Structure 1
């Protein structure tokens, strides 16, 4: 039996994660509140309301320190609270006070790199890493297998996935590509594997790069894919403990 063990969203792309107990998905959209905002770099050339690839944004592959951010989104007030072990807590409204966020996050950025310049918002589809609205799924058994090969604990939070699955065989998630899934009352089609970057080498508690996850994937499995992307085809509710059915 395969079931949902955890649900996560990331209100500001690359800048914090938030656990959920349930979520209502909508066909053709990302998880509500997931990557609703993104931190554009000073090199970005994107118009408001326009999706763009991750190269335009501040992210953990360039700045490991931001991987230690936790987030909480109050949907009613559209207020976000961020915490980090090296920064004071910050509560702000991204659409109304982006300067407060930029001042808060800049000390975590390497001074020699490109700098964050503004917050952008994209409703519905969010600033996913895919050019289509996606939801990401992680197989906890694959994470455990990787940890066993590396000989150290590997937090599943390194992978920044939305839905953590328990009960699959290790690496069986890749067999789901092209399949339709029903999770709770929602349905989705699995589109592709997730190719991983340097963000996963940073510890989600400290932000320090302490594990070479990419080398471990390439050495043991000859690829650096971890997790899968899916597209929601039928909206519905997903709750912790829901079972996954292949249609």
Structure 2
């Protein structure tokens, strides 16, 4: 079974923007490079001020759909994140600077429901990544499965809704679920596929507008009897990954 890499995405600040890249260097027991490197902790959080903790401690699109409309561009050398939103315009910040973080929260305010938790601070997960898993995971997603969901809904969906790191094409829909417990070679790296990804309401929000406009969860449930899309994997052999690279399920 073989496919090819078609898209690579990272999300420097968890739930606060996405960025397409052409290549990345995967490392053992690390998240996708610069993916969810930082996260915005809310004022009801009980997690630590640094390092990994559960997604429940952070501002995420499930509770704040307007965040889905954010796009990012990362300056790796300076660790500066440039953000844009169709309604809000542009904002640039150093996530490590507390003053700039406060200005960032003020910029975001029009997207944040008043009856929900509000941002308190930006915390750093580093190369571990503030993933939704309790291990450093890379998410792998199948464009064929995405097209199946689009067809079920009767409209073209933006694949960015699913917030995946590595997107491949060339295999049948839902074949990725058969990879659980197996290894897959992508470019020069090998990953152990561990879990299916149970989805949330974030996927209902349009990445261009931040408005909920598609019943993605309903489509998954009525079409296939689950709410899963994509798989989580763990890097077990380091190596480069680039657009066009082969995706191969190992024996």
Q: Following superposition of structure 1 onto structure 2, how do residues 1-247 of structure 1 map, counting pairs within 5 Å?
A: 1-96=2-97, 97-247=100-250
Cα distance in 2 between the residues matched to 1:231 and 1:193? 13
TM-score with structure 1 setting the length: 0.98
Is the Cα contact below 8 Å between 2:68 and 2:206 reproduced in 1? yes
Q: Which runs of 5+ in 2 are unaligned?
A: none
Q: Once superposed, what is the RMSD of the aligned Cα atoms?
A: 0.8
| TM-fit CA distance, 1:105 | 1.3
Looking at structure 2, the residues matched to 88 and 173 of structure 1 have their Cα atoms a distance apart, in angstroms, of 37
The answer as to whether partners of 2:193 and 2:233 remain within 8 angstroms in 1 is yes
Contact between 2:51 and 2:126, CA under 8 Å: does it hold in 1? no
Structure 1 gap segments, 5+ residues each: none
Distance in 1 of aligned mates of 2:139 and 2:64: 22
Q: Cα offset for 1:49?
A: 2.3
For this pair of structures, how many residues does the alignment match?
247
- Report how far residue 52 of structure 1 moved: 1.2
Calculate the TM-score normalised by the size of structure 2: 0.97
| Distance (Å, rounded) in 2 between the aligned partners of 1:46 and 1:135 | 22
Residue pair 1:40, 1:119 contacting (<8 A) in 2 also: yes
1:88 deviation in Å?
2.3
